[in-house]
Amino acid sequence: MQLFDLSGKVALVTGSSKGIGEAIVRRLAEHGAKVVVSSRKADACEKVAADINGKYSAGNETAAAIPCNINDKAQLRALVDATHETFGKIDVLVCNAALNPYFGPGMEIPDEAFDKIMGANVRSSHWLCQMVLPEMVARKDGVVIIVSSIAGLKGTPLIGAYGISKAADFQLARNLAVEYGPHNIRVNCIAPGLVKTDFARALWETPEAEKRSAFGNPLQRLGEPDDIAGAAVFLASRAGAWMTGQSIVIDGGTTIT
């Protein structure tokens, strides 16, 4: 078996109609996986899935578009069920979707915003794992990848609740890695730095803002979504078979300076 070959695998990726999630779902498909493209907007999912099918399908569908709001447990259940109906199983679960509706001092965040952040960024991943892990246990094989952030490694005066949720992602991965390792299930996090996505647009959309955001970064640039996708391929494939409970930081060196 080639180290990065994902032939025969089925990957479900949340938040995969744009940004980091889209890059991940495209690269998983490129390496042979069948993939589920999922986000809130059906048309955006369908566009990405159609493009993937146009590039990689040879008679059989490679990508399926299944929209879902991760804050809704019933929709998550429907997402998992629809994936089973379409592809029969889930070998790789990538919990990528997240949100951050509040930017400001932590002591001033409304309760509703705090709860929404923790629900979408932590509880939804917990729910999805509850739904998907049993079939992985039955097969004695499976991979869970949680996309966290370096915001979970550093203190911040402006995105505190988001940072708390991303720190919780690391612990969720560690807990699940310990609990499910005996079943040959690996659980890891990817922790990106600032990547040029719509999610972080306010921090890079002007040349001045981008230069300011990249200041002190040893590589002297911000990340692109594809800079993150390769780690997901590594973790999902045979190449990452002895890694679990870990967090891969991909940030251009931001956290070392």
Dist CA 119 CA 155 (whole Å): 21
Residue 38: C-alpha distances to residues 62, 85, 195 (Å): 14, 15, 20
Of 56, 102, 162, 180, which residue is the catalytic one? 162
Closest C-alpha to 254, from 206, 217, 225, 215 = 217
Closest C-alpha to 116, from 66, 169, 68, 165 = 165
Residue 151 is classified by DSSP as: G
* Pair of tokens at residue 19: 């940004």
Closest C-alpha to 125, from 197, 187, 46, 181 = 187
Asked whether 120 and 71 are in contact (CB, 8 A), the reply is yes
- List the beta strands (DSSP E) in the chain: 10-14, 34-38, 63-65, 92-95, 142-147, 185-192, 247-250
Asked whether 133 and 112 are in contact (CB, 8 A), the reply is no
Active site annotation includes 162: yes
Residue 182 is classified by DSSP as: G
**Catalytic residue positions?**
162
